[in-house]
Amino acid sequence: MKAVVYKGPRSIAVDQVDDAKIEHPCDVLVRITTTNICGSDLHMYEGRTSFETGRVFGHENLGQVIEVGPAVSKVKVGEYVVLPFNVACGFCKNCERQLSNYCLTMQPNPKFAGAAYGFADMGPYQGGQAELLRVPYGDYNCLRLGEDAAEKQTDYVMLADIFPTGWHATEMAEVYPGDSVVIYGAGPVGLMAAYSATLKSAGRVMVVDRHPDRLKLAESIGAIPIDYSQADPVQQVLDLTMGLGADAGCECVGYQAHDPSGEEHGEMTLNNLIASVRFTGRIGVVGVYVPQDPGAKDELAKQGKFPLDYGLMWFKGQKMGTGQCPVKKYNRALRDLVAAGKAKPSFVVSHEIALDEAPTAYENFDKREDGWTKVAMHPST
């Protein structure tokens, strides 16, 4: 089968690799019809993780079931399914508590928890930027779609990751109707957080970034764009909230946060959130941070350490939630919003391409080229 293979920093190729196949009685085999490039792929693409060369990318996957293992009882051949990026068992201590993001069974490293397709440090599972994908524990991991699946693929594929992840940011930030919410990052995840806040009837939703195309998309869903390259974003949020700060904040950038000149300061958005969220406000951090980052310029950042304004955070009585999204906790409800026509997360998609065009798409998305907000690839139809 054809697949997007990692060759080294900023180098990928669409190669022939061994076909994915059923390896365990509970597996499901899916022919991938839509798979996205994610901001998380870029950390690996840039060589800023331990992702091994030769591995296949892709954790935002949707497709049609072509084979099921003998122990699969719910999922049927021919159905369209969307797969949470988390690979989980469904029966461990964490999965039982809806924490499929920290599954203890599927992560082979006993010092870690949680697994994902085509991801650094998240187990051996190949990604779905390929013609075929093996889905372990298929009955648990597949979310089945209805008759509108093929036609609404670019909406439903967002249930694999960014729509639930944006929603999760607003859950950790405890967004209530009427709340003012500030979101750092107008990439696909930040846009989904802004969209989720809007679906939850937030009052004022403010989105911080410096890319005009991304800020324009935020504005298109009713959010207030804040360009941090023009003026201090914290002051802009304070000015919009009578000096109090926002009720809730979402971090959707991660450890490669940078100033307008492009210099990285991993702690920048965290400290901006602490400063621009009110006393007793809540903060949800879904942007990725890593325990080691040998590619960082800064000595502390190399060890995954960031100078956090913890004194101010404590003094303000703020609460912060962190980590990967437990996609299964939300994907069914969000699917039903899409099915009912109440949510259309595909508004972030800027490019739909064939798998062969992956190298150019990665390059453009990595450079945040104007107009490259989200790429959906179609390995098969």
Residues that bind Zn ion (CB under 5 A): 38, 40, 161
Rounded least distance, CB 39 to Zn ion, Å: 7
Question: Which own/partner pairs from 217-225 qualify as long-range (CB within 8 Å, at least 24 positions apart)?
Answer: 217/186, 217/191, 217/347, 217/348, 217/373, 218/186, 218/190, 218/191, 218/194, 220/347, 221/191, 221/194, 221/195, 221/347, 222/198, 223/183, 223/194, 223/198, 225/186
Instruction: Work out what residue 351 binds among Zn ion, ligand NAD, none; the CB cut-off runs from 5 to 8 Å by kind.
Output: none
Closest residue to Zn ion, based on beta-carbon distance: 38
Rounded least distance, CB 127 to ligand NAD, Å: 14
Nearest CB to Zn ion, comparing residues 40 and 318: 40
Nearest CB to Zn ion, comparing residues 202 and 376: 376
Rounded least distance, CB 364 to ligand NAD, Å: 11
Instruction: Work out what residue 187 binds among Zn ion, ligand NAD, none; the CB cut-off runs from 5 to 8 Å by kind.
Output: ligand NAD
Instruction: Work out what residue 253 binds among ligand NAD, Zn ion, none; the CB cut-off runs from 5 to 8 Å by kind.
Output: ligand NAD
Instruction: Work out what residue 228 binds among ligand NAD, Zn ion, none; the CB cut-off runs from 5 to 8 Å by kind.
Output: ligand NAD
Q: In angstroms, rounded to a whole number, what is the distance separating the alpha carbons of residues 103 and 93?
A: 8
Residues in CB range of 139: below 8 A, 6 or more apart: 26, 28, 72, 73, 74, 75, 90
Nearest CB to Zn ion, comparing residues 43 and 278: 43
Q: Which two tokens stand for residue 258?
A: 């940078």
Rounded least distance, CB 98 to Zn ion, Å: 20
Q: In angstroms, rounded to a whole number, what is the distance separating the alpha carbons of residues 184 and 265?
A: 14
Rounded least distance, CB 272 to ligand NAD, Å: 7
Do the Cβ atoms of 116 and 122 come closer than 8 Å? yes
Rounded least distance, CB 228 to ligand NAD, Å: 5
Nearest CB to Zn ion, comparing residues 27 and 161: 161
Nearest CB to ligand NAD, comparing residues 135 and 270: 270
Instruction: Work out what residue 185 binds among Zn ion, ligand NAD, none; the CB cut-off runs from 5 to 8 Å by kind.
Output: ligand NAD
Instruction: Using the Cα atoms of residue 48, residue 268, residue 172 and residue 223 in order, give the sign of their dihedral.
Output: negative
- For ligand NAD, the binding residues (CB under 6 A) are 38-40, 42-43, 161-162, 165, 184-190, 208-211, 214, 228, 252-254, 257-258, 268-269, 286-288, 324-325, 368
Rounded least distance, CB 70 to ligand NAD, Å: 32
Residue 200 buriedness (CB in 10 A; 0-12 / 13-18 / 19+): middle
Instruction: Using the Cα atoms of residue 161, residue 164, residue 166 and residue 171 in order, give the sign of their dihedral.
Output: negative
Q: In angstroms, rounded to a whole number, what is the distance separating the alpha carbons of residues 161 and 5?
A: 21
Nearest CB to ligand NAD, comparing residues 69 and 287: 287
Nearest CB to ligand NAD, comparing residues 68 and 376: 376
Sheet of 319-322: strand order equals 224-227, 205-209, 181-184, 246-251, 277-285, 319-322
Residue among 295, 205, 270 nearest 241 (CA): 205
Instruction: Work out what residue 165 binds among Zn ion, ligand NAD, none; the CB cut-off runs from 5 to 8 Å by kind.
Output: ligand NAD
Nearest CB to ligand NAD, comparing residues 62 and 268: 268
Q: In angstroms, rounded to a whole number, what is the distance separating the alpha carbons of residues 303 and 163?
A: 30
- What are the Cα distances from residue 184, in Å, to 169, 253, 287? 11, 7, 9
N-terminal to C-terminal alpha carbon distance within the chain: 14
Q: In angstroms, rounded to a whole number, what is the distance separating the alpha carbons of residues 29 and 10?
A: 30
Instruction: Work out what residue 257 binds among ligand NAD, Zn ion, none; the CB cut-off runs from 5 to 8 Å by kind.
Output: ligand NAD
Instruction: Work out what residue 34 binds among ligand NAD, Zn ion, none; the CB cut-off runs from 5 to 8 Å by kind.
Output: none
Instruction: Work out what residue 379 binds among ligand NAD, Zn ion, none; the CB cut-off runs from 5 to 8 Å by kind.
Output: none
Nearest CB to ligand NAD, comparing residues 202 and 208: 208
Rounded least distance, CB 119 to Zn ion, Å: 9
